Structure 1
Amino acid sequence: MKTTEYMFRFPGCGNEPSRYSVIVLQGVSVTFIRIGSAQKPFSLLVPRAHDETFAHVRAEDLARLAIAQAICAELLESDVAHALDLDVHGPLWDGELDAGQWRHDAAEAVLEAAPAVAQAATAPPVAPRHAESDATIFEVGFAATAAAS
């Protein structure tokens, strides 16, 4: 399975923003790791009913969907005991998201070129929508799939 890692910063407790690594296991889950913290990683899982539908969604879109849910549900600063279901009808986060990895001994990210994600010929491209629009990844990307069926 294909994995892609992204980095983002989010205002946390204190004066400096917290750094997070988001690892997307394509079409399966999104795992959050708070860099420099003893906080355990937590994951949002794509519900089994949507496995096939999300198999071809871009990793960045899954990451943005999961980040928006983690922010709204206040998961970033809490200790999550178990994996949660990803809200597939939620908005996409509109913040700065970088492909690459954090160097755990430095405050800055090590950027690497994001690998191209091959989309299946039958899968429609997912147009990113932002949280302000109230459109969801499900409405945008999968309406075309339903119309084609």
Structure 2
Amino acid sequence: MTDDAYLFLLDDASVRLGVSPAAVGDLACMETTAVRAWLEAQGSTPTAPELRLLPPEETGALPEGAERLPVPLSDEELSRVRQQSGPEVLARVEQELLSYRDCADGRDGLIGRALAAGVPPHRIVELTGEDPATVTAAAAG
């Protein structure tokens, strides 16, 4: 396994492997000189249907002989690639997990502000669904 994702070209654009970079949204690697030069050398474009992208854990599926280029992706970009390349139900659940993470970020600070404002700990437990020990720990932290 490699740490790089791979851009590659399929001989048959109807093959369902990887994800189109255009479907993932803006990717910093697509603006690099290396990627632009590679696409030009291949006679391809960033929106070509045969241009695909695979996350690092799936590079073993690259067709033998396929034109390929390793590309670095940020954690956020890699997350989007994984969401787009997985089954739709998996992508939905992963999006829910990301939403949860975004909502939970700053949880302790919010609990602390609620306590400072006078919201009783038992009410915070009722409103958030958090464990009472979590509320107590946030109050101490």
User: Normalising to structure 2: TM-score of the pair?
Assistant: 0.28
Q: Which has the higher helix share?
A: 2
Q: Which has the higher strand share?
A: 1
User: Normalising to structure 1: TM-score of the pair?
Assistant: 0.27
> Larger C-alpha radius of gyration, 1 or 2?
2
Higher relative contact order (CA 8 A, sep 6+): 2
